[in-house]
Amino acid sequence: MTASTADAPPPELRLPRRRGVELSLLIGAVLISVYGYAAVGLAHDGAVPPDVAGYGGGLGLLALLAHLAVRLRAPYADPLLLPIAVLLNGLGLVLIYRLDLETPGERAATTQLIWSTIGVAFFIAVVAFLRDHRVLQRYAYLSVAAALVLMIVPIFFPAVNGAKIWIRIGGFSFQPGEFAKILLAVFFAAYLAANSNALAYTGRKIWRFQLPTGRVLGPIVAIWLISVGVLVLERDLGTSLLFFGLFVILLYVATGRRGWIAVGLLLAAVGAFVVGSFEPHVHSRVQDWLDPFASIDAGRGPGQLAQSLFAFAAGGMLGTGLGLGHSVLIGFAAKSDFILATAGEELGYTGLTAVFLLYALLVARGYRAGLALRDAFGRLLAIGLASILALQVFVIAGGVTGLIPLTGMAMPFLAQGGSSVVTNWIIVALLIRVSDLARRPAPDDVETGVVAAVPAERPGAEGER
Amino acid sequence: MIRYIRHAAAFCLLLLVALLANAARVQVFEADELDDNPANRRTTIARYDEPRGNILVDGRPVTGSKDTGEQLAYERTYRYGPLYAPVTGYASQTYGTTLIENAEDDILSGTDPLLAPLPLWGEVSRTRQPGGDVVTTVRDAMQRAAYEGLGNRRGAVAAVEPATGRVLALVSTPSYDPERLSGTGSSVTGAWRELNAADSRPMLNRAIRQTYPPGSTFKIVTAAAALDAEVVTDPDAETDTPSPYVLPGTSTVLPNESRGCEKASLADAIRVSCNTVMAHLGVEVGLDGMVEAAERFGFNDTGLKVPSGVAKSNFDTDMSDDQLAQSSIGQFDTTATPLQMAMVAAAVANGGELMYPHLVERTTKHDGATVHTTGSKSYHRAMNPLTATRLRQMMIDVVQDGTGTNAAIDGATVGGKTGTAQHGVDNSDLPYAWFISWAQADGAARPAVAVAVVVEDAEADRADISGGGSAAPIARAVMEAALED
């Protein structure tokens, strides 16, 4: 995509490509992961694991292929996105491999590496074939239809551990709801980009909050209600909370109406209260959150949340060291929902902070791309994808540390789970794509007109006191 | 739109801060509380992650550890479990610890701060030191002599070195193998139930945790009280004991099992074990004097630790004269542990100075460097030196020419005292045969050992003869083992 230099912006926007930076960071990310892998073996068996070269080579190859795809197809992309993804994925493999040592009957690291490979393949495919994210805008309604199908299909499959979010065919299982996240983000971004003016400037005003007209609001609320309803039926409240948060954030970013936040919070509060009171699965989670040690007092031993808190506490400031903790005591879901407890115990508060900051950096880079883009759809897409990561990290990390009630979700890149890894690689690929466009020195003049100008032209439209 | 993106970014930042603050709460501020939660298995896992330190007898470990490969890796093993169970106790992953395993647990499990190379090392490095060892004062030959002497009978033996208070043997039969309780699982809980349900109570440490009516062996305490209080000034002079002796304030006649007790001297009364003379002397000394004397020997001390806790030996402090008379011959409410009675013999042998009994010689680090040494210290002066000299002679007479001739050893001076105690409703249970004694090799400066033996004996129907018959030979075997090196 070459652009005419006549319309080129001032020189300060001419960002260097920074592909060398990305490559060096990638090498660092792979080396850190390999080091962690070796440290686990040294601590647990007193020897470097025999397949450390294969593991390092595999991860390195994946990183290299992804890098080449970015270098060829998205040369201006943000150089931090890919290394962070590789580092988190590598760290997740280390933690899963570490837990595998405690559960010889259930090896998950190899499967996870295969899923990571598939994820990187999707990453490369997206970077290579999706030349411009604005293409996606055309498929908004197709996206939402696909998302609904993906969410509805698992209802017809048997529940796994209380949640009907899995499709199992043979020995192969995946969570279609994970992919639905991206599709919904695309739909929300496209719809809001097209209708932001209508949403922002029309409708009744109730007290200090101006509400949009039903005509514009109708479709989006309907979609949202359906998706949330499906999720409540499937008893997957983490994802439900995620969609809700995504919806409110994008609505706010698109319209700037604080009313949306108020309405959103009100709806969330009512929904949370109703579901928390009447749905037994969620009700028990809330009880567990209010008193994680109730089961101990009742003589039934510590529950998962209590075990998770014990694990974090055992890590303390500096952690026990990789391979030296006992987070396997959490038992079920130690490698998936509770993977962060292993990080907390073995890497300590210091390591956990580093992991959180990696996520924060990833989100910040997504927001940065959103800020730099000129088209409303791209902006909303970038904000939406980054917010998915932020919300997901908050919901699951807050859950396992006792900040909010626990809802089953996968820690992006870290947790065991194929669908989640693949989805997150696609999210990073999309962020790479939009950031490439955002940082490209000669912005396209295709879309600089109407949409970008709107926010500046709305004086007096909102009570901003 | 840019402003709203910034707002949304600020919101994400808020989420990050909330996560970090909450993680700090769990991992830093509430960490100690969570670590100490009894439901948190980490402390237990860490405890059994390394081999436990050993308990040593004669320089050789009588314990061990084996790696089971389970979550709680190391389990306790015992080389001569039943023989040393009253010394070591058990160290169980299911039922905790007892005796030395309990009293020295910090050393054995490696948590004692003194094991660390530097102060606060454990807190900084978050590591546990290898378990240290506990060196006991027990002598293997004596322990075996006592254990084999008791055989299949129920009973106990305690032996101490009079000059130092070192406990040389501590045996209780029937015993049990503490290794059966080491691990976890149904075999351990089954063994626990079986051991606790057994009529013979194999897990009861009869040498220090069980009290028995001491019977006539208590007459040594009464004699010491009478001599110290100068109720008797010449042990060989006739006493004014009435005959028949009616318990004061009652019409009950106190019988003698021996002949020749009428107005017998104190020395003769000890030699042939006259109930009437000693009961009368106890009343003459009076309640306060008797209580004081008994407590100087260690009676009524609830805090005696060797370092395993020793049960309180009892001498009532509020009694009528007839009760005092019976108490003075080791009946009524008077009870004593075998260790307590060994201390009585030791006090006499050591010139009246009673040393504090101790079972642990010293504790060491894993590499053998000493952490702490238990020094010898005085417990009480039990009696005047002159009284001790006189009582020594009386106890020698018992062995040479009285009820305790079975304890005599060639080449050594032996002093002793027999005893028998009935118990149970209407004395229906098996009576206890007692023997307490000490031995000093000819030419040695100090007595080598003081012993107390108590054994349940079906034949013990006739008073002190049984103490001399069934308990004295065991005491002799233990004393011979003590004299051998």
Provide ipTM, 2 decimals.
Answer: 0.87
CA dihedral B111, B114, B116, B122 (to 10 degrees): 50
Amino acid at site B273: S
B31 CB within 8 Å of a chain A CB: yes
**Catalytic option among B216, B258, B265, B466:** B216
Q: Is B216 a catalytic residue?
A: yes
Please measure the distance between the N-terminal and C-terminal CA atoms of chain A and give it in whole angstroms: 44
Contact in structure between B189 and B94 (CB atoms under 8 Å): yes
Tens digits of residue pLDDT in A97-107: 999 988 888 88
Beta strands B55-57; A209-210: pairing state:
unpaired
Tens digits of residue pLDDT in B331-378: 888 999 999 999 999 999 999 899 999 999 999 998 888 999 988 899
CA dihedral A315, A318, A324, A329 (to 10 degrees): 10
d(CA B98, CA A398): 43
Domain count, chain A: 1
Omega of the bond prior to B235 within 30 degrees of 0, cis?
no
Q: Strand pairing partners for B245?
A: B254
Look up the pTM and report it. 0.75
pLDDT band of residue A461 (cuts 50, 70, 90) is: very low
Q: Where are the alpha helices (DSSP H) in B25-109?
A: 31-35, 42-47, 81-88, 99-103, 105-109
Q: What is the pLDDT of residue B79?
A: 92
Q: Which domain holds residue A64?
A: 7-455
d(CA A315, CA B98): 32
What is the percent of chain A where pLDDT is above 70?
A: 83
B45 CB within 8 Å of a chain A CB: yes
Supply the DSSP symbol for B238. P
Amino acid at site B379: Y
Cβ contacts of A253 on chain B, cutoff 8 Å: 1, 4-5, 7-8
The pLDDT mean for chain A works out to 83
d(CA B479, CA B345): 13
Does residue A446 belong to any structural domain of this protein? yes
Does residue A332 belong to any structural domain of this protein? yes
Amino acid at site B48: Y
- Distance of residue B192 Cα from the nearest chain A Cα, in angstroms: 21
Contact B9 A367 (CB under 8 A): yes
Domain ranges of chain B: 215-483
Cβ contacts of B16 on chain A, cutoff 8 Å: 356, 359-360, 390, 394
Cβ contacts of B23 on chain A, cutoff 8 Å: 312, 344, 349, 352-353, 356, 397, 401
Question: Is pLDDT of A455 > 60?
Answer: no
Nearest to B19 among A302, A363, A397 (CB): A397
Smallest CA–CA distance from B127 into chain A, residue: A320
Contact A253 B4 (CB under 8 A): yes
- Distance of residue A397 Cα from the nearest chain B Cα, in angstroms: 7
Tens digits of residue pLDDT in A137-167: 999 889 989 988 888 888 787 776 666 677 7
Cβ contacts of A461 on chain B, cutoff 8 Å: none
d(CA A367, CA B268): 106
d(CA A374, CA B31): 48
Nearest Cα residue to B307 out of B140, B11, B101, B39: B101
d(CA B215, CA B455): 13
Smallest CA–CA distance from B43 into chain A, residue: A314
Tens digits of residue pLDDT in A50-84: 888 888 899 999 999 999 999 999 999 999 999 99
Does residue A461 belong to any structural domain of this protein? no
What's the average model confidence in pLDDT over A275-289? 81
Question: Is pLDDT of B257 > 80?
Answer: no
Tens digits of residue pLDDT in A6-56: 555 555 555 578 889 999 999 999 999 999 999 999 988 888 888 888 888
Supply the DSSP symbol for B183. S
Beta strands A209-210; B96-97: pairing state:
unpaired
Contact B3 A312 (CB under 8 A): no
Q: What is the pLDDT of residue A213?
A: 66
Q: Strand pairing partners for B364?
A: B133, B370
Q: What is the pLDDT of residue A448?
A: 44
What is the percent of chain B where pLDDT is above 90?
A: 44
Contact in structure between B179 and B86 (CB atoms under 8 Å): no
B27 CB within 8 Å of a chain A CB: yes
Does residue A462 belong to any structural domain of this protein? no
CA distances from A370 to A73, A133, B22, B474 (A): 20, 12, 29, 94
B34 CB within 8 Å of a chain A CB: yes
- B26 three-class SS: helix
pLDDT band of residue A451 (cuts 50, 70, 90) is: very low
Taking domain B215-483, whether its CATH number is 1.10.3720.10 is answered by: no
Question: Is pLDDT of A422 > 90?
Answer: yes
Question: Is pLDDT of B143 > 70?
Answer: yes
